[in-house]
Amino acid sequence: MKVWEKELFGRKLRLEYGKVAKQSLGSVVLTYNQSTILVTADAEEEPVKGGDFFPLTVEFQEKFYAVGKIPGGFIKREGKPSDEAILAARLIDRPIRPLFPENFYNEVQVIVTVFSMLGDDSIETWGITGASLALNLSPIPFNGLVAGVRIGYVDGRFIVFPTQEELKRSKMDIVVAGTKEALTMVEGEALEVSEEEMVKALMFAQDAIKEIITFEEEILSDFNVEKWEIEEERVPKEFIEDYLSLIDELELKNALLTQGKKNRDKAIAKYKEDVKSKFEEEFLDKWGESFYAEKFSFLNKAFEDKLQKTMRALIINENRRVDGRGVDDIREISCEVGLIPRVHGSGLFTRGETQSLAVVTLGAPMDVQLVDTIFSDEEKRFMLHYNFPPFSTGEVKRLRGVSRREIGHGHLAERAHKNLIPSDMEFPYTIRVVSEILESNGSSSMASVCSASLALMDAGVPIKKHVAGIAMGLVFEEDRFVILTDILGMEDHLGDMDFKVAGTREGITAFQMDVKTNKIDESVLKIALEKAKIGRLKILDLMYKTIAEPRKELASEVPIIKVINIPVSKIGEVIGPSGRVIKEISEIYDVEIYIEPDGRVKVNGRNLEKVNGAVKYIKDMTEEVESGKIFEGTVKRVENYGIFVEVLPGKVGMLHKSNLKDKLDTFKIGDKVKVEVLSVEEQGKFQLKQLKEE
């Protein structure tokens, strides 16, 4: 067993190796402050047969004992991963995936198991460092070291691994991962920070990452790990050269420049089939049918490589993109609101061949999402969900549960808006936005940001500003690079960076970056962020032309919610013994009533008159009877010495016959009488006098 300890960012980091999980190919126990995770890395020794993608899975196992909780629900054990656990797994997956060798197709699994957790320690971020060490300590091929940090921005000062209390005051909450040479992944949200502030945060994060990786290097210097050799299948160089000799650069370029995603895909597929036919005509006898059939996947890869080089050359050398745009051009955009009857709000955002329909539903306070994970135990009143059906790309697939990608994209769009959603005090509704992706060819998550903003304003949610999102790309060739605005799916797949920025006219609200090159430095980031800002402002102008501010009236289908405040001391009276009083009010007026500990009362119903009636009843029953106040009361009892009058629900006072203007025998139970409070005794009894109706 080996142990290493180091003080990092004001807290102690401890790493253990060789004590537990010894049958795993690589494992470490990482403790930062009061949080502990076990990270294991395992792989199959043989590659997947016929594999053309890298089968990596990352799992983040949240254990409720880690925070001293027993899982809620009927089954008292952990079940399927929560959205938060899936997001944590994606956070770890994205920076490590590019560091595996290109031709490595063995199935790899990294599992992060949480043993203990304190929210201040951001243990999911430390999972990136733990995965890096576990993989490097294993025989699994892995190229380099990676680490992750969480960055806050409080009072003009950047903080590494901020506490939960500091995050409440922070203008920024981002997770940044990278190697010693460059950043590879960013994910987070911000309170309308400037592009300059974001670049400074990323550079600050890079320095912190270097500090962690230096410690990783110290640890690994104690080991001499023998890595598996990748048994790379090879073919004669001449076999590939014969195939490439049949590809005409101009014809391939023309196929690439075909307009429309579907048309372009068909043109490329047809040209690829033509090249295949030519190869079979000219070279099949030379190589033989069995060899050709067995090694055909190499020709497929050669075609993809040639396609990538041709597309990148078009961008670098000719400043042309496959859809005919210049590098700074945004695809044609259209915005619409109020498309769907009966829903509470809707917005359609179309950018080129990417289209998102957002639908808003406004619900009652009871509709909040109850979040019960190791990360939080709270009520969530704003939700944004993202759906990516197969028809959005013209494919046929089975409809299954929500994918990890859908959860991740929805979370990013939600983060773009969450800090601009009005508070519960200002707007007491639970808000759910659903983004339905109807077409997709690049950056559907950023289209969701835009459609959600349109739909929120259409629903009358009092947001003060529109939020828009745009995806940027990058192509690097030696020392030359080009930043692409509003990338297509192909440019994302064949390029070097996917860089998503969402925000208002005033600043950035959400940010995500995934990089496939180690050449991203401060100058590249500055240019990319500045171009993203220009693009974002253009999109915002179009959105404001469509709907400039939230609608003043909510849709007729929206439930009616009225909010009043009562003294905290009166809460018990409104609830009543065993909830009897509040149940009676709810049944009489056909409403739902929610009482907050601070005395706020929310009355929810479908009928305005009934909601107002319930509100008045609660106001009356919590109002104090004071001397000099005037009421119209109801006669409850008639005696020979006077009458008893109910002036407020449950509050009955004595009106002595000496204080009557009318004769005693003229009153009967149920009559209305105008009275003034003469005096209130210590026990709560009060005396009344009759006032004459004017």
User: Alpha helix locations (H) across 422-521?
Assistant: 444-459, 489-494
Q: What is the CB neighbour count within 10 angstroms for residue 619?
A: 15
Residue 418 φ then ψ, to 5°: -55, -35
In the chain the first and final C-alpha atoms are separated, in Å, by 94
Separation of alpha carbons 491 and 512, rounded Å: 17
The H-or-E segment that residue 611 falls in is: helix 608-622
Q: Has 492 been labeled as part of a binding site?
A: yes
CB 537 within 8 A of CB 211: no
Which residue type occupies 592? E
Which residue type occupies 32? Y
Which residues make Cβ contacts (< 8 Å) with residue 512, sequence separation at least 6?
A: 186, 187, 188, 412, 445, 498, 499, 500
CB 39 within 8 A of CB 130: yes
User: Alpha helix locations (H) across 319-393?
Assistant: none
Which residues make Cβ contacts (< 8 Å) with residue 516, sequence separation at least 6?
A: 98, 495, 496, 497
Which residues make Cβ contacts (< 8 Å) with residue 577, sequence separation at least 6?
A: none
Strands (E), 56-200: 56-61, 106-116, 147-154, 157-160, 172-178, 183-193
CB 430 within 8 A of CB 363: yes
CB-side neighbour CA atoms (13 Å) of 12 = 7
Residue 387 φ then ψ, to 5°: -120, 135
Q: Which two three-digit tokens encode residue 583? A: 């149940």
Single out the residue of 526, 591, 530, 525 nearest to residue 563, CA to CA: 591
What are the Cα distances from residue 186, in Å, to 173, 497, 514, 525? 11, 12, 7, 12
Q: What is the CB neighbour count within 10 angstroms for residue 678?
A: 16
CB 187 within 8 A of CB 512: yes
Give burial (CB, 10 Å; 0-12/13-18/19+) of 538: middle
Separation of alpha carbons 288 and 471, rounded Å: 47
Single out the residue of 386, 557, 367 nearest to residue 460, CA to CA: 557
Give the strand order in the sheet containing 600-605. 560-565, 600-605, 592-595
Q: Has 496 been labeled as part of a binding site?
A: no
CB 182 within 8 A of CB 190: no
Which residue type occupies 545? K
User: Alpha helix locations (H) across 379-422?
Assistant: 404-418
Single out the residue of 79, 88, 98, 31 nearest to residue 59, CA to CA: 88
Q: Which two three-digit tokens encode residue 261? A: 């995603």
Separation of alpha carbons 314 and 221, rounded Å: 45
Question: Dihedral (C-alpha) 434, 439, 440, 441: value to the nearest 10 degrees?
Answer: -150
Binding site for Mg(2+): residue ranges?
492, 498
Binding site: residue ranges?
492, 498
